[in-house]
């Protein structure tokens, strides 16, 4: 599966536009590989940012997997024009990642 933010894929002709697909995932930004950050570590700046970045990457990967699965269900072999939106949910430590693109079939 080819995933790209551009509207075309170099050296590939788009044969069919199959529709808009999305992938959405959300979870705690302080949770990585199933373990939460300790209260003490939240005040350690380097550990805080390390856990936040790792948690965000994990959430983003889940959203990309859902996007890819949705595109495959339409018979696509690529997604073009991908846009990524990362939003904190109000009054929580939860991040939501929403990815949108156009499912296409390329030669």
pTM given for the model: 0.82
Q: Output the DSSP codes for 22-61.
A: EEEEEEETTEETTEEPPTTGGGSHHHHHHHHHHHHHHHHH
pLDDT digits (tens, 9 = 90+) for 16-59: 999 999 999 998 765 555 556 565 665 667 777 777 788 889 99
Domains for the chain: give ranges and CATH numbers.
2-106 (3.30.110.70)
Mean pLDDT of the chain: 87
């Amino acid at each position: 599966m080819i995933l790209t933010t551009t509207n075309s894929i170099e050296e590939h002709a788009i044969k069919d536009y199959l529709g808009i697909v999305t992938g959405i995932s959300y979870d705690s930004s302080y949770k990585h590989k199933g373990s939460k950050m300790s209260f003490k570590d939240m005040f350690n700046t380097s550990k805080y940012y390390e856990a936040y970045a790792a948690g965000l990457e994990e959430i983003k990967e889940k959203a990309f997997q859902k996007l890819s699965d949705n595109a495959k269900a339409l018979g696509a072999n690529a997604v073009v024009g991908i846009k990524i939106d990362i939003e904190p949910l109000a009054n929580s430590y939860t991040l939501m990642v929403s990815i949108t693109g156009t499912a296409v079939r390329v030669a």
